[in-house]
Each structure stands twice: as structure tokens, then as C-alpha cells.
Structure 1
Amino acid sequence: MSKPAAGSWISTWLEAWAVAADAGVVIALRSAKLAAGGAEGAAEFWLMVNEKAAAMALLQTTLLTGNLGRNPRVIADRAIAHVGRKVRANRKRLGG
């Protein structure tokens, strides 16, 4: 089976699936850190809360100003890329 063409809804879905898979790893790694408690667990909790609020506020603002584009698939691709960068950075930082 060949790779789906860039710019297709299938490629959008596959990228969303990959981000979701990475998010699952981040959840597991963060859960372990939070369960361990202590100062490190507390710091991770506040980092998680603050980065989610900041990432979603930026995404919302970008969407509402039209800077994600006007085409639904392009908007989806850019939103997934935005979230994906954050998820992959967390996975790398947490050691996954």
C-alpha cells in the first residue's frame, strides 16, 4: 500500500492518529511522575495545566483570527500540527 497523498483527508487522519498515540505515551509517563508525588510531581502537574491552557488559547486565537486558513482540511492539518508539536516535545522531555 502506498503512502496517502499529502493534502488528503486520509493523511490528516493518519497524522491525528499518530498524535493520539504519542499523547497516550505522554499520559502514561506523566501519570507515573504524578503518582511518584513530591516536588517533581507537583511541578509536572502545574506545567501540564499551564501548557494546556496556553496551547489551547493560542490555537483558539489563531483559529478565530483566520490564521489557520479557510479550508477545513487545512485548518485540521494546522491544528493537529500545533498540538502534535507540543505532544512530541513532552514525549521527548519525559523520556518516551
Structure 2
Amino acid sequence: MASSQSVNVLRYSALVTGLIYGLYHQSSLNTQAKHAEIDREYKRKESLIEQAKTEWKKKTMPPETKSGSTGIITDPEDSRFDLEAYLKLKAGDTAK
């Protein structure tokens, strides 16, 4: 009888140890999944912010001017229109 009692103790000890390990392992898997989800959400928000920054730069970038790379605004309706610079540009174009 003594040997059957020790076998039962070993069986139940192994069962309890397995249950405890299973709970611990499931907990660690859940924690990893939560961290992975947080990382994915962070990267998604980061990409949305980058996309918003590029769209904002496109929106606030000054419109292309007709004069090309001179940087002089030739649209008289624009609030940054400089008549003197525009006239100098036109005078330089006619002299060529």
C-alpha cells in the first residue's frame, strides 16, 4: 500500500505542476499578444501621423508660380504678390 500512495502523490503532484505551468504559460502568451497589439496600434498611429504631416506639407506649400524657379509670385490675386519684383522679372525677360 505504501507504494500506491507514493504513486498517487507523484501523479497529483505532476497534475498540479502541469496546471500551474499551463496557467503561467497562458499568462505569458496573453501578455505577449497584448504587447504585440500595442506595438501594431502604435505603428499604425505613427504611420497616420506621418501621412498627415506629408498631406499638411502639400496643403500648405506655396502654389507653383508661372515664372518657374525664380520664386517670384506672378498671381496678382495672391496676398504675397510683389509688384516691384514682378516688373523687374518682366523687364529682365524683355531685355533677353
TM-score if structure 2 supplies the norm length?
0.30
TM-score if structure 1 supplies the norm length?
0.30
Task: State which structure, 1 or 2, has the greater radius of gyration over its C-alpha atoms.
Answer: 2
Determine which structure has greater relative contact order: mean sequence separation of CA pairs < 8 Å that are 6+ residues apart, divided by chain length: 1
